[in-house]
Structure 1
Amino acid sequence: MDTSTKRWSILVACCFINLCVGSMYAWSVFSAPMADYLNQLHGSHLTGADLAIVFIVCNSVGPITMITGGKINDTFGPKTVIFIGGLMFGGGMFLCGMATEVKHLVWAYGLLTGLGLGMVYGATISTCIKYFPDKRGLVGGLTTAIFGISSVILPPIASLITENMGVIASFKIIGAAFIIIVCGSAFFISKCPDNYKPAGWNLDANKAKGSKTVDKNWRQMLASPMFYVLIVMLTSGAVAGMMCIALAAPMAQRMIGMSTAAATAVVSTLALFNVCGRVIAGWLSDRIGRNNTLALALLFTMFGLYSLYISGQGDITSFYIGICLVGGCFGAFMGVFPGFTTDQFGTRHNSVNFGIMFIGFAIAGYTGPTIMHSILTSTGSFKTSFLVGIAFSFVGLVLSFVYRALNNRAQLQLNYKTQ
């Protein structure tokens, strides 16, 4: 099978893998029944919001293995990285089915699943980006969208298993299934040839605005001021989404007065718009540029957060408008940044470089839920957290203009040197 044909089968395999590992965003569906289970064991009074620390840890540790696994991926290829990561990810989920304390969940779901997620996700995204230099935005959006769509598919499945067999069985069954699917799919993925270009494709004709041809390793990337602008912009743009993803169900119940079933529907809606945002923004970024796309996403995020801020008991319409906007715009950042990182720093070292850039998501994954939970604990309301989210988004918007100025200056210097 030639590379031009093979790359599509690799893309399909990576999509199946991402469909599994994206289930980590469905934590809010597991948190409430798991809190009830622990309360029955110990006579405690935990809530789903109290278990947000598990989701925070899971989000925070991913970049560790994205970076270390990225080096292995760049050197030897993605198959081994994905296989080991699949064992860790599915194994962590399975071990949650044996948890009897919160700390067990932190170790199993937070650390083991989170570290496995970093290995797998970093390898699949980087591999697909390398095989599709002609469609970086679209493929980045598609692969991250499949990662996000898991949060639409898994909640009803997990809820059904939990209702009939309990949350412990749900973790074990889903974890075992993920081990089989991820590890099995790894055998269909191979390393992309160096400097691969599809037949008939010319880099200069690529429509992705601001594409670069210079490959930089992680040291050269860290020496570039552009890296710090991008990672802070990424963090600022992702905070709002992480706030809502981690506590979507509790928000719907406490703010609007929704039932458990209705709150589960909110989680699925948020995930659905998260998915759509990745594909649409990825496709759009190939046409109007990565930075322009993200600037629009930041603007709409602020509108979404304000809509959530003005929502109260029974305000379903404004609440859903806010959730949809925040979810879609968070998806835009997830979908656009893999291609954005490659445009800026090249493909050769992309696995490690994107792993380092992904620290921005990890910081947002810790910061967003922590801010929201702290404000809820101190004020008894989520409202102030939405204003904080607007402030973060505004910082990201300002940085998009800083990026534009730096990029224009770099282009002028490049043109001057070539004259």
Structure 2
Amino acid sequence: MNLTKKRWIYLVLCCLINLCLGSIYAWSVFATPMAEHLTKFAHHTLTTGDLAIVYTIANAVGPITMISGGFFNDKFGPKAVIFTGGLMFGLGLIASGFVHSVGMLVLTYGIISGLGLGMAYGSTISTAVKFFQDKRGLIGGITTGIYGLSSVILPPVVTAIVAATDVTMAFKIIGIVFLVIVCGSALFLKPCPNDFVPEGWTPPVNVKSSAHDKNWKEMLKTPIFYIMILTLTCGAFSGMMIISQASGVAMNMIGMVPASAALAVSVLALFNVLGRIAAGFISDRIGRINTLAGALVLSMFGLGALYLCHQGTVALFYLGIAVVGICFGSFMGVFPGFTVDRFGAKNNSVNYGIMFIGFALAGYFGPSVMRSIFAADGAYQRAFLIALVFDIAGIILTFLYRVVLNKTEGGNH
């Protein structure tokens, strides 16, 4: 089987790995029963808010291993990198089933699993995108979309395991299954040859070689990098803010019961996935920066709908979270291909890992702003306005991107 056909097998393996890694988005399903479990060992009652630091750290440490693991992935290929990441991810989850304190959960889930996740996730996306030069946007959308799809599929599975056993057993079972799937799939992956060109596809003649194959040092010297990473932070801010508190917003602002709030979380996750795949596909046709600018404008309408929500406005709330989900997904789906377009495929694992810091910043500040404002106001409206400001800043950055690109590289984007 030639490489143009075999690459589809590698894509399926990368997607299978990402389906496991995306379980981090299902943290809220673990949080409530885990808070109850750890309360038995604490001197006071713990809430999901007390465990929020675990999720925050798991997201924050990812770029560390995305960058370091990306270096080894670009040099030696994905097999050893993803296998190591899968081992850490799975063992961290298994160990989380044995902890008796929040501090230990921070270590097992937040740090060990979080670092393993970053190492494997960065390599799967970079590997898949390298094999599909002809469909970078679509493949970036699919691989990140499958990662997001985990938050739709996994919650009912985890809930069923918790109901049948308990949350500690759920961590152990999920950890063992994911360890086997991720590490097993990694063994069949191969690195993409630097000279590989898909059959029947000719690289565009208007692509300037100067825009390609920059290492991380060269990338950091370009002004376009800083515009891109800030654009990513602005674009991901509203999505990360709302994803972290979607259930609470549904119950506190709309008056939904827990079951309906859980459905709202699934709707948000589903549109997040759809946004990743659709935007990746669209960006192959109309350009990455045009797609991102459109997503930011659309996000403003979604945030406006959420700002107008109050008790009982269920339809408006669903409209708002669906639109915000699509727009957040758009950024996550487009940026892998966008990074390759600008800085080349050769060093993309490291380069995208550094670019992903923009997402990590949104993952830290978005939820923090949401929590702080609700604690101060007892309402979320002011947080939606702040997110709107980030969208406007993002739109300005897309114009700045075009200006800088025209000056530095003759307008090729």
TM-score (norm 2): 0.96
C-alpha offsets along residues 323-360 of structure 1, whole Å, 9 cap, x if unaligned?
11111111000000000000000111111000000000
Structure 1: runs of 5 or more not aligned: 415-419
**Deviation at 1:413?**
7.9
Q: 2:391 aligns with which of 368, 387, 393?
A: 393
Unpaired runs of 5+ residues, structure 2, are none
Distance in 2 separating the partners of 1:268 and 1:413: 40
Counterpart in the other structure of 2:198: 198
- Which amino acid is 2:126 matched to? S
Contact residue 41 and residue 101 of structure 2 kept, 8 A: no
For 1:237-276, what aligned pairs fall within 5 Å after superposition? Answer: 237-276=235-274
Q: Could you tell me how far 1:109 is from its partner in structure 2?
A: 1.4
Partner of 1:20: 20
For residues 222-249 of structure 1, the C-alpha deviation after alignment (integer angstroms, 9 at most, x for no partner) is 0000000000000011011111111211
Provide Cα deviations, 1:76-99, integer angstroms capped at 9, x if missing partner.
110000001001111111122112
Matched, 1:110 2:110: yes
* 1:255–1:311 CA contact under 8 A, matched in 2: yes
The one-letter code of the counterpart of 2:357 is I
CA distance in 2, matches of 1:41, 1:261: 28
What per-residue deviation string (whole Å, max 9, x for no partner) do you get for residues 116-170 of structure 1?
A: 1110111000001110000000000011110110000001111111122121111
Q: Which residue of 1 aligns with 2:48?
A: 48
Match in the other structure for 2:281: 283
Once structures 1 and 2 are overlaid, which stretch shifts more, 233-242 or 90-99? 90-99
In the other structure, the counterpart of 2:290 is 292
Residue matched to 1:333: 331
RMSD: 1.7
| 1:379-404 Cα distance to aligned partner (Å, 9 max, x none) | 22222111111111111111011011
4+ aligned runs moved over 6 Å, structure 1: 209-212
What are the residue-to-residue correspondences of 1:111-190 with 2, within 5 Å? 111-190=111-190
Q: Distance in 2 between matches of 1:98 and 1:380?
A: 36
1:204 match: secondary structure: coil
State how far apart, in whole Å, the 2-side matches of 1:77 and 1:220 are. Answer: 22
Shift, 1:42, TM fit: 3.0
Distance in 2 between residues matched to 1:156 and 1:71, nearest whole Å: 36
Query: How far, CA to CA, are the matches of 2:153 and 2:292 in structure 1?
Result: 27
Q: CA deviation at 1:37?
A: 2.2
Report the alpha carbon displacement of residue 43 of structure 1 after superposing the two structures with TM: 5.6
Q: Which range is displaced more, 400-409 or 346-355?
A: 400-409
Is the CA contact (8 Å cut-off) linking 1:210 and 1:343 kept in structure 2?
Answer: no
- For 1:282 and 1:413, locate their aligned partners in 2 and report how far apart those are by CA, in whole Å: 21
Return the alpha-carbon distance in structure 1 between the equivalents of residues 364 and 376 of structure 2. Answer: 18
Partner of 2:320: 322
Distance, in Å, in 2 between the alignment partners of 1:128 and 1:211 is 22
CA deviations over 1:289-309 (Å, ceiling 9, x no partner): 000100111111111112112
Letter aligned with residue 67 of structure 1: I
Which residue is equivalent to 1:222?
A: 220
Native 8 Å contact 1:66 1:355 kept in 2? yes
Counterparts of 1:239 and 1:398, CA distance in 2: 15
Q: How far apart in 2 are the matches of 1:270 and 1:205?
A: 40
What amino acid sits opposite 1:131 in the alignment? F
- TM-fit CA distance, 1:46: 2.8
Does the 8 Å CA contact 1:74/1:348 hold for their aligned counterparts?
A: yes
Distance change in 2, residues 1:261/1:43 (3 Å): farther
Q: Rate the CA distance shift 1:358–1:7 in 2: closer, same or farther, 3 A.
A: same
Identity %: 55
Deviation at residue 212 of structure 1 after TM alignment: 7.2
| Residues 19-98 of structure 1 mapped to structure 2, 5 A cutoff | 19-42=19-42, 44-98=44-98
**What is the total number of aligned residue pairs between the two structures?**
412
Amino acid at match of 2:182: V
Can you list the C-alpha shifts for 1:240-293, whole angstroms capped at 9, x where unaligned?
111111121122122222222212111111110010000000000000100010
Instruction: Choose 50-59 or 80-89, whichever is displaced more.
Output: 50-59
